[in-house]
Amino acid sequence: MRRAICLTMLRARRAHEDIFLHLTGAGYIRSSGYRQADVNGAMRITTVLARYLGQRDSLSGEEEGILESLPSGVRRVEAGREFVEVGSHPGSSCLVVSGFAGRIQFLASGKRQITAVHVPGDFVDLHSLLLKIMDHGVVALTDCEIATVPHAALRRLTETHPHLTRLLWMSTTVDAAIHRAWIASMGRRSVEEQIAHLMCELFLRLRVVGKTDGNTFRFPVTQAVLADMLGKSNVHVNRALQSLRRMKAIAWQNQIVTILDWEALETFAEFDSTYLSLHSEAR
Amino acid sequence: MRRAICLTMLRARRAHEDIFLHLTGAGYIRSSGYRQADVNGAMRITTVLARYLGQRDSLSGEEEGILESLPSGVRRVEAGREFVEVGSHPGSSCLVVSGFAGRIQFLASGKRQITAVHVPGDFVDLHSLLLKIMDHGVVALTDCEIATVPHAALRRLTETHPHLTRLLWMSTTVDAAIHRAWIASMGRRSVEEQIAHLMCELFLRLRVVGKTDGNTFRFPVTQAVLADMLGKSNVHVNRALQSLRRMKAIAWQNQIVTILDWEALETFAEFDSTYLSLHSEAR
DNA sequence: CGGCAAATTGACACATCTCAAAGCCTGTGG
DNA sequence: CCACAGGCTTTGAGATGTGTCAATTTGCCG
């Protein structure tokens, strides 16, 4: 048994239910006002998903409307809660509206690996539309707002809107590209390089959805959680972070990551953003 | 610089061109007779792709016809040749008809990581239909036969055949699930367990397309190539293989892998085949 | 039999894990 | 305003895991 105390701890809480904030059909029910900027669930989906997709291809007004009218419930999930369970057969897919979510796999020894990190705009388990059975759990790495879109609606969309279908398909292939980048990092980079690479990736992914501030972004997780993303021990990750700090490449304090020297970091990590498909193209 | 001499070597050969065996529109041009059982390219695609998809959902006769009529050229690629290059902008996607192919990423140090292995029936770079730019190269790990399907035809299919589209989409999400399994293995399993897990995976994937023989399968790659899949050094992999041999879990000689005790291997590797989505379901 | 690629070995350096203790920071109650 | 508890972070020390390099052995092919 090791690290990720917050995950372990909160995993036990699975008993009590999430608070559903609201469930909208056409998306016009007022929210609880948790954030002034976000008026309702559907609006949020449009903002964040359309921004994700719109970065990669242009969306027609009609298509934005379709996304907007997707039925979706938005709920808050507290940090550490596993809100989609391994082996389950979900009837809907989850879109991250705010916060960080992660896909997680457990081994018998109690070890755990976070196989993917998801930021606002990411459709975490869209693949469950096709795979049916979850091969991993999905956990809130920080407090999150999660929108839930029924598979029935998504399936209908695949029958009627080929272009949007291709864009959603694309989003799952971007996830796969990110998986491959992680595999390459885990296999052939030093932990320091691996962390640097991940920070470059997160910075760009967050910037697309407007979640960066200058050269900083909020990353409110513990070193133990980072260690589970990297597949290393928390102690080792701690030492690597100190080394990166000494290099003056990145700072991470008060839950804020600061990229001190983007070019240096990119070079050090051999980061090439191609795999994120951040350019707009007809798809 | 290390291992994978065969890859290094053959990478240099990039100069000379592949031999295109044939290019068929409706798929009835005779092949060179490389294998008696495989009469022509389109037939092969049906056999192997329909078998891949048909394992996961039922295909109507019409759908099989559609697959059959996909324009496709089949070519032979010799072991070690990188037949899709990183950074390229392919106009078609490659389906493995026979042999093993791998996705590969290089680091400046000369290190390389194989981020995925593909067996017959796999649509190696189907994602390039949506991602446009290759974030990795694709290399023949053994002599291969590769069918090439133009993106135009696939795109047309997404406009007219939602169900087949979903199945192709599914195939890319299965790839992603495999990526995640690799991430979990790399992060939290010992090399021995990692190898065991990979062998379980390959065995089942090959069995689906009829490429196993009893409890054995042909795996004609070097230990150095395996090391590049695992993200380890060839020396370390060699020692891990010896250990597995001593455990009498698997044998690997004359390019044939034999699963000596499936249950033991599965238990040892904590292998759970869910992520391969091998069950048939309406998707 | 000679030649070559691949597998294996040995020795040693470096990376990473584990365990346990210590330090630090923050929120809470007195 | 201080003391304390609890969760993180940091440190130290020692055990393992893994990489590197170079030499040796093995197996296959002509």
Tell me what pLDDT residue B157 has: 97
Burial of residue A146, with CB atoms counted within 10 A of its CB: 0-12 exposed, 13-18 middle, 19 or more buried = buried
Question: Residue B111 CA to nucleotide D9 C1', Å?
Answer: 33
Question: Residue B221 CA to nucleotide C3 C1', Å?
Answer: 21
Secondary structure percentages of chain A, helix, strand, coil, to 5:
45, 20, 35
Residue contact A132–B275, C-beta within 8 A:
no
CA–CA distance, A126 with A45 (Å, rounded to integer):
14
**Tens-place pLDDT, residues A74-89:** 999 999 999 999 999 9
Question: Strands B72-77 and B82-84, how do they pair?
Answer: unpaired
A46 falls in which pLDDT band (50, 70, 90)? low
Amino acid at B279: H
**Would you tell me the crossing angle of helices A234-246 and A191-208 to the nearest 10 degrees?**
80
SS3 track for chain B: CCCCHHHHHHHHHHHCCCEEEEEECCCCCCCCCCCCCCCCHHHHHHHHHHHHHHCCCCCCHHHHHHHHCCCEEEEEECCCCEEECCCCCCCEEEEEEECCEEEEEECCCCCEEEEEEECCCCECCCCHHHHCCCCCEEEECCCEEEEEEEHHHHHHHHHHCHHHHHHHHHHHHHHHHHHHHHHHHHHHCCHHHHHHHHHHHHHHHHHHCCCEECCEEECCCCHHHHHHHHCCCHHHHHHHHHHHHHCCCEEEECCEEEECCHHHHHHHHCCCHHHHCCCCCCC
Q: Which residues from chain B sit within 8 angstroms of residue A180, using beta carbons?
A: 103, 105, 115-116, 135-136, 179
Residue contact A130–B173, C-beta within 8 A:
yes
Amino acid at A236: H
pLDDT for A58 beyond 60 = yes
Question: Residue B126 CA to nucleotide C29 C1', Å?
Answer: 62
Q: B interface mutation test: which of A179, A197, A277, A279 has the most B CBs within 10 A? A: A179
Tell me what pLDDT residue A44 has: 59
Residue contact A232–B180, C-beta within 8 A:
no
Lowest mean pLDDT among A240-249, B69-78, B203-212: B69-78
% pLDDT > 90, chain B: 80
**CB contact, 8 Å: B235 with chain A?**
no
Question: Residue A247 CA to nucleotide C16 C1', Å?
Answer: 21
pLDDT for B276 beyond 50 = yes
Burial of residue B108, with CB atoms counted within 10 A of its CB: 0-12 exposed, 13-18 middle, 19 or more buried = exposed
> What residue ranges in A174-237 does DSSP mark as E strands?
212-213, 216-218
Tell me what pLDDT residue B31 has: 31
CA–CA distance, A259 with A249 (Å, rounded to integer):
7
Q: From the CA of B34, how many Å to the nearest CA of chain A?
A: 34
Residue contact B186–A186, C-beta within 8 A:
yes
Amino acid at A218: R
**Tens-place pLDDT, residues A241-261:** 999 999 999 999 999 999 999
% pLDDT > 70, chain B: 84
Residues with CB under 7 A from strand D: A 5-6, 9, 222-224, 234-235, 238-239, 241-242; B 2, 190-191, 231-233, 235-236, 254
% pLDDT > 90, chain A: 80
Gyration radius (Cα) of chain B, Å: 18
CA–CA distance, B72 with B94 (Å, rounded to integer):
9
Question: Residue B242 CA to nucleotide C8 C1', Å?
Answer: 10
Tell me what pLDDT residue A41 has: 47
**Tens-place pLDDT, residues A127-186:** 999 999 999 999 999 999 999 999 999 999 999 999 999 999 999 999 999 999 999 999
pLDDT for B37 beyond 80 = no
Q: Which nucleotides of C are covered by protein (CB under 7 A)?
A: 5-11, 15-20, 26
pLDDT for A264 beyond 60 = yes
pLDDT for B59 beyond 60 = yes
Residue contact B176–A181, C-beta within 8 A:
no
pLDDT for B27 beyond 90 = no
Structural contact between residues A267 and A276, judged by C-beta atoms closer than 8 angstroms: no
Tell me what pLDDT residue A11 has: 35
| Averaged pLDDT, A202-222 | 96
A72-86 per-residue burial string, b: 16 or more CB within 10 A, e: under 16: bbbbbbbbbbbbbeb
Q: Which residues contact A72 (CB under 8 A, 6 or more apart)?
A: A23, A24, A27, A41, A42, A45, A95, A147, A148, A149
Look up the protein residue whose alpha carbon has the minimum distance to the C1' of C7.
Answer: B238
| CB atoms closer than 10 angstroms to residue A210 | 12
Structural contact between residues B70 and B43, judged by C-beta atoms closer than 8 angstroms: no
User: Hunting for tokens 């000494």 — which residue is that?
Assistant: A246
Structural contact between residues A162 and B165, judged by C-beta atoms closer than 8 angstroms: yes
- Quote the tokens at residue B80: 């070690």
Question: Residue A114 CA to nucleotide C2 C1', Å?
Answer: 53
| Averaged pLDDT, A175-204 | 98
Cα-Cα-Cα-Cα torsion A204, A144, A46, A114, nearest 10 degrees, comes to 50
Identify the helix (H) or strand (E) that includes residue A115.
strand A112-118
Q: Which residues contact A225 (CB under 8 A, 6 or more apart)?
A: A4, A6, A7, A102, A114, A141
Residue A189, CA: closest nucleotide via C1'?
Answer: C15
Q: Which residues from chain B sit within 8 angstroms of residue A169, using beta carbons?
A: 130, 165, 169, 172
| Averaged pLDDT, B245-266 | 96
**Tens-place pLDDT, residues B83-119:** 999 999 999 999 999 999 999 999 999 999 999 999 9
Residue contact B172–A172, C-beta within 8 A:
yes
Q: B interface mutation test: which of A1, A52, A109, A115 has the most B CBs within 10 A? A: A115
Length of chain B counted residue by residue:
283
**CB contact, 8 Å: A184 with chain B?**
yes
CA–CA distance, B277 with A20 (Å, rounded to integer):
31
Tell me what pLDDT residue A97 has: 94
pLDDT for B16 beyond 50 = no
Q: Which of residues 239-278 of B touch A (CB under 8 A)?
A: 270, 274-275, 277
Phi then psi for B208, rounded to 5 degrees? -55, -35
Tell me what pLDDT residue B69 has: 86
Q: Which residues from chain B sit within 8 angstroms of residue A277, using beta carbons?
A: 131-133
Tell me what pLDDT residue A262 has: 97
pLDDT for B180 beyond 60 = yes
Tell me what pLDDT residue A47 has: 75
Size of interface A-B (CB pairs under 8 A): 145
Burial of residue A264, with CB atoms counted within 10 A of its CB: 0-12 exposed, 13-18 middle, 19 or more buried = middle
Tell me what pLDDT residue A119 has: 97
pLDDT for A125 beyond 90 = yes
CA–CA distance, A63 with A67 (Å, rounded to integer):
6
pLDDT for A207 beyond 80 = yes
| Averaged pLDDT, B245-265 | 96
Q: Which nucleotides of D are covered by protein (CB under 7 A)?
A: 7-13, 17-22, 28
Residue contact B135–A230, C-beta within 8 A:
no
pLDDT for A6 beyond 50 = no
CA–CA distance, A89 with A98 (Å, rounded to integer):
24
